[in-house]
Amino acid sequence: MNVYLDYNATSKLRPEAITGMEKAMKLCGNSSSVHRFGRLARRAVEQSREALADAINASHDEVIFTSGGTESNNFALLGSRKKIIASSIEHDSVLQHVSESARIGVNNDGRIDLFHLEELLEKEKSSVIVSVMMANNETGVIQPIEKIVELCRRYDAWVHCDGVQALGKIPVSFSSLGVDMMSLSAHKLGGPQGVGALIIRDGVSLSPISVGGGQERGQRAGTENIIGIGGFGAVCETINCSLKLSESLLAMRDNIEKKLIKIAPDIAIYGKESPRLTNTSCIGLPGIKNEVQVMALDLAGVAVSSGSACSSGKIKPSHVLVAMGANSESAECAIRVSLGWDTSSFDCDSLIKSWEALARSRVEHKFHKSTVA
């Protein structure tokens, strides 16, 4: 059995992305060169830029290609040269720039506390940038970005949105959201790893953090990753197909949760009462550490994760779940199941069957301990 249910870490490559990358591999010119080969490479980059811009309702001039979401987050925050306020559930590439006192709280269902955000904004006398992700990578909880933008505008604060997990899963319109910047990554929606973008609203000026060349309109130095960009552009053309999958993924996700609750009524589904990505479920099974669950499921042929892929090697509770009010012991017992474009009902049934064996072993362990006592 070979079941992959870790799409929030990275999606399986879509065939369209492979085709786009293969086309780019046949180009030999540097996109900064003025000869015919360079112009062909430049055309390929600009076609991908247009495809991404069209997918998110942005201008192509607002798209700056990067190496991925982490670089885009760093570029947005460091390049702004402003005091940073961010939600307490952000990706580590954001939180490492934010002091504890400048982290916005969330409620028990994972939604940002707008009252706390306003308190933080009121305290700041200097220029501020507020960073809030559109959808959380661990729980799938979707944030009220429009309300956040409206509040920040009253305090003349910039807004950066990490949209990495949202793209291809929910409709994303850069112009409608009104944010100043948005980070994106190709490999979360079926594109290649190692390529992303920062969308910068017209009129917003950043200080480049990568210098030494005039690429990407002088915003990001270095020869463009033509192959990755080709795959990114190709997968952006499949956005509508990805969005149409949302309803079927919701049915599969809800069926998984319903059956797991029936097997073990004491489990926690984090963010269940909030709007969530239809493909994501964060499940806590009390009494069994998440790394034990992940390894047991892997041995059964089912791949899930214990949270953010960037933090999976760290032996500590999820900062996202702790911010939502979970104690450390509970947070250490949560796994993330994330479905994608190639997920089947067989995959879901395989997960349920394998996870049931885990839950049963927990009951047997408790019975054994009580008998010995």
Judge whether 170 and 277 are in contact, CB under 8 Å.
Answer: yes
Catalytic residue numbers, as ranges: 310
Q: Which CATH number fits domain 15-241: 3.40.640.10, 2.60.40.10, 3.90.1150.10, 3.40.350.10?
A: 3.40.640.10
Say if 3-10+244-372 and 15-241 have the same CATH topology: no
CATH fold, domain 3-10+244-372, is Aspartate Aminotransferase, domain 1 (3.90.1150)
d(CA 68, CA 26): 23
Cβ distance 64 to 217 under 8 Å?
yes
Question: How many Å apart are CA 121 and CA 100, to the nearest integer?
Answer: 15
The residue ranges of the chain whose pLDDT is under 70 are 308-315, 363-373
pLDDT at res. 371? 40
pLDDT value of position 308: 62
In the chain, what are the domain boundaries? 3-10+244-372, 15-241
pLDDT of residue 309: 60
pLDDT at 1: 75
- Identify each DSSP E strand in the chain by its residue range: 3-4, 63-66, 83-87, 103-104, 128-131, 158-162, 181-185, 196-200, 268-269, 280-284, 302-303, 334-338
- Does pTM top 0.75 for this prediction? yes
Query: In sequence order, what DSSP letters do the residues of 78-117 get, joined into one string?
Result: HHHTSEEEEETTS-HHHHTTS-GGGEEPB-TTS-B-HHHH
- What confidence score (pLDDT) does residue 372 get? 36
* Helices 246-263/345-372 angle, 10° precision: 20
pLDDT tens by residue, 16-43: 999 999 999 999 999 999 999 999 999 9
